[in-house]
Amino acid sequence: MTVLETVLSVAEWAVPVILAVVLHEIAHGCAALYFGDTTARDMKRLSLNPLRHVDSVGTVLFPLILILSKSPFVFGWAKPVPVRFSRLRNPKRDMVWVALAGPAMNLFQTICAFAVLSLCQNVFHVALPQPAMRILLNIIVLNLSVMMFNLIPILPMDGGRIMTGLLPLPWAVKFAKTERYGFGIIAFLLILLPVLGNYIGRDFDFVSRFLAFSVQKLVLFFVVFFGLEEGESIMGIGFFQLLVILLIVLVLFGRGKLPALAEDLGKSVSSFKKGLNEDKENETVNKTEVKQNEMDQAKKE
């Protein structure tokens, strides 16, 4: 193998891993900055330098253990971007958007990779070089894997943050207390339980199989959606129609419309809840007045 072949072989995995992990964390930091927390920016974590995001456990040790334990699904995580939720303008609500930003970035990279493949195949009718093709395919698989893994509803994963923000406050407080056990739960589900299953001859690797199944189904969906196989796309739209939709979404994001819509939706929900509470209070007052009138009538009789 020549030096060039070696470099290309390393780049086929290094480029997708760096993009998937680093941009995921930067997205969290940018979302936090948008909603009022400057911690990530102040600590210079909004950087494309991969070394600033390497975590000794999540980036090195955890994937190595999964490889040695012959797990069918290998993944990890970068050093979490520091976010002080108390600095967010609306901590409970904005926590959801900050947590969603990372997986959303992974999904965006996946869509971009599929769009490039679709553009080359269906518009320009050109074949990509094999190294470029493998990089794009690895970008797709890795980003979907990182997205699904981080959406596991266990703290401190992004899915756990999202659940904390969506739960009613009393339940959210109780659920937040489970964060201290989060990595222990993840290690048990992804490492200890499969090892125990192998020891007794049973398949207990439920989480890895679910993640592999989810990624496979998502890949198949996007393959059909972008017209990369025979047959009509699932949603019946072409590449240029999809491009127009993406441009509209980007324009809305650029003008701050979507966060504003989300904020309006939150206000609407709060107003609705407030109205329900007021109706209940009025109903209680009316019942009290009716009972009082009945008692007064009974005394007169």
On whether both 201 and 270 belong to a single domain, the answer is no
Q: Which of 12, 25, 229, 289 is catalytic?
A: 25
Answer for the pair 159, 153: CB distance below 8 angstroms, yes or no: yes
Q: Is 25 labeled as catalytic in the residue annotation?
A: yes
On whether both 187 and 268 belong to a single domain, the answer is no
Pick the residue with more confidence: 5 or 23?
23
| Structural domain boundaries enclosing 72 | 3-255
Helical residues (DSSP H) of 119-205, grouped into ranges: 130-150, 158-166, 169-176, 182-187, 193-200
On whether both 242 and 284 belong to a single domain, the answer is no
Pick the residue with more confidence: 130 or 248?
130
On whether both 243 and 289 belong to a single domain, the answer is no
On whether both 269 and 245 belong to a single domain, the answer is no
Instruction: Please give the average per-residue pLDDT across 117-138, as a whole number.
Output: 91
Q: Report phi then psi at 226, rounded to 5.
A: -90, 10
On whether both 197 and 273 belong to a single domain, the answer is no
On whether both 28 and 109 belong to a single domain, the answer is yes
- In this structure, the number of other CB atoms found within 10 A of the CB of residue 162 comes to 20
Instruction: Please give the average per-residue pLDDT across 142-159, as a whole number.
Output: 91
Pick the residue with more confidence: 72 or 144?
144
- In this structure, the number of other CB atoms found within 10 A of the CB of residue 80 comes to 18
Pick the residue with more confidence: 168 or 203?
168
Counted domains in the chain:
2
What pLDDT score does 246 carry? 53
**Mutual angle of helices 3-34 and 130-150, in 10-degree steps:** 40
What pLDDT score does 144 carry? 93
On whether both 172 and 42 belong to a single domain, the answer is yes
On whether both 108 and 30 belong to a single domain, the answer is yes
What pLDDT score does 231 carry? 41
Measured between alpha carbons, how far is residue 208 from residues 24, 197, 233 in Å? Answer: 21, 13, 29
3-state class (DSSP) for residue 238: coil
Kindly tell me if the per-residue pLDDT of 26 is higher than 70: yes
| Structural tokens at position 279 | 């109706």
On whether both 43 and 152 belong to a single domain, the answer is yes
On whether both 45 and 181 belong to a single domain, the answer is yes
**Mean confidence (pLDDT) of the chain:** 79
On whether both 33 and 114 belong to a single domain, the answer is yes
